[in-house]
């Protein structure tokens, strides 16, 4: 496993990281989830990403129980805030940040969070209120560094223009061969200002692993076949996408890697990407995905892959 600097921070994160969206405490059994975490550490993964809204706190609670026996400085722990935790609790107001930060710390059974991320931009709260509250969390020692997820270029510029507040070190956008939107503005803007990308869905919610075949129903044990994990896959499960991804299979074979490793290596070819978040439901998936770190794949193969999916990838601003 190789490691990359996370923006202008002191954090070194593994190129492949373990996420918990739709999996921990929600989509897979606890014993299997614990095995995935053990396997991740065994593969050198040191970065664990979650959010308070995943299972309405269940994922954080699971991680708190599972990680409490490990040395706290042996891993980088990230969580997020924004989405509703109750009928009245949501957003990035000062009151919510103070309340939800303390609740996350309690569930995660830790005194501090390495990376606290704004899960989305809050149009209902002034940015200065949000940044001042987050900065207070940093000064208090409860937060080491700040990040954001899916902020627009203008949102980012507005935060960068502020003075006297803690600085963001990470951005967490969706990014893959099938979703290239961050390349236009978010990645260049971030790179120029000491902000790294931690990308989610680098495997297109599993589509880029090649497990789905043209004209064939999804495997019974796949995310697409799961009621709890497949609800957001409709745009990636079209016949056109599945057929195009199937045409990537010979490229991965030529490179001597699995389809998942090829897709992850494509994401990691971008220097501004610090880590690619995987969502494993089996320990074997962790092994396969982790092996993508450090792969040297011919750029010409990547260019051919980009051409195959060019009409399907999302690169608009």
Question: What are the catalytic residues?
Answer: 54
Location of structure tokens 């949501």? 90
**Among 95, 127, 102, CA closest to 116:** 102
CA 85 – CA 56 distance, rounded (Å): 6
120: burial class by Cβ within 10 Å (0-12, 13-18, 19+)? middle
CA 179 – CA 160 distance, rounded (Å): 25
Location of structure tokens 């991320």? 117
Query: Which long-range CB contacts under 8 A does 96-100 form with residues at least 24 apart?
Result: 97/130, 97/133, 97/134, 97/137, 98/133, 98/137, 100/52
| Cα first-last separation, the chain | 33
For 116, the token pair is 């606290």
CA 305 – CA 132 distance, rounded (Å): 44
Per-position DSSP letters for 88-147, written without gaps between them: S--SS-HHHHHHHHHHHHHHHT-S-EEEEEESS--TTS-HHHHHHHHHHHHHTTSEEEEE
Contact call for residues 186 and 156 (beta carbons, < 8 A): yes
CA 54 – CA 63 distance, rounded (Å): 11
Beta-carbon contacts of residue 129 (< 8 Å; ≥ 6 apart) = 92, 93, 94
């Amino acid at each position: 496993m190789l490691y990359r600097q996370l923006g202008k921070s002191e954090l070194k994160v593994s190129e492949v990281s373990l996420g918990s969206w739709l999996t921990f405490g929600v989509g897979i059994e606890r014993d299997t989830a614990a095995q995935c975490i053990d396997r991740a550490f065994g593969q050198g993964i040191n970065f664990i990403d979650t959010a308070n809204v995943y299972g309405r706190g269940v994922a954080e609670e699971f991680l708190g129980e599972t990680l409490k026996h490990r040395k706290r400085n042996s891993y980088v722990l990230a969580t997020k805030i924004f989405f509703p935790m109750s009928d009245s609790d949501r957003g990035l107001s000062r009151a919510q940040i103070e309340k939800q930060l303390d609740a996350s710390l309690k569930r995660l059974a830790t005194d501090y969070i390495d990376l606290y991320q704004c899960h989305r931009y809050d149009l209902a709260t002034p940015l200065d209120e949000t940044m001042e509250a987050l900065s207070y969390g940093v000064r208090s020692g409860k937060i080491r560094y700040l990040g954001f997820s899916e902020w627009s270029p203008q949102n980012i510029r507005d935060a960068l223009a502020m003075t006297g507040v803690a600085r963001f070190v990470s951005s967490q956008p969706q990014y893959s061969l099938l979703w290239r939107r961050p390349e236009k503005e978010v990645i260049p803007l971030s790179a120029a200002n000491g902000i790294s990308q931690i990308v989610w869905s680098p495997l297109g919610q599993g589509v880029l692993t090649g497990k789905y075949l043209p004209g064939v129903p999804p495997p019974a044990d796949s995310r697409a076949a799961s009621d709890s994990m497949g609800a957001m896959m409709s745009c990636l499960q079209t016949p056109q996408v599945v057929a195009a991804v199937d045409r990537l299979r010979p490229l991965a074979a030529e490179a001597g890697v699995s389809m998942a490793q090829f897709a992850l290596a494509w994401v990691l070819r971008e220097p501004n990407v610090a880590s690619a978040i995987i969502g494993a439901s089996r320990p074997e998936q962790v092994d396969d995905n982790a092996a993508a770190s450090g792969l040297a794949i011919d750029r010409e193969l990547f260019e051919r892959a980009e051409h195959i999916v060019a009409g399907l990838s999302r690169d608009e601003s």
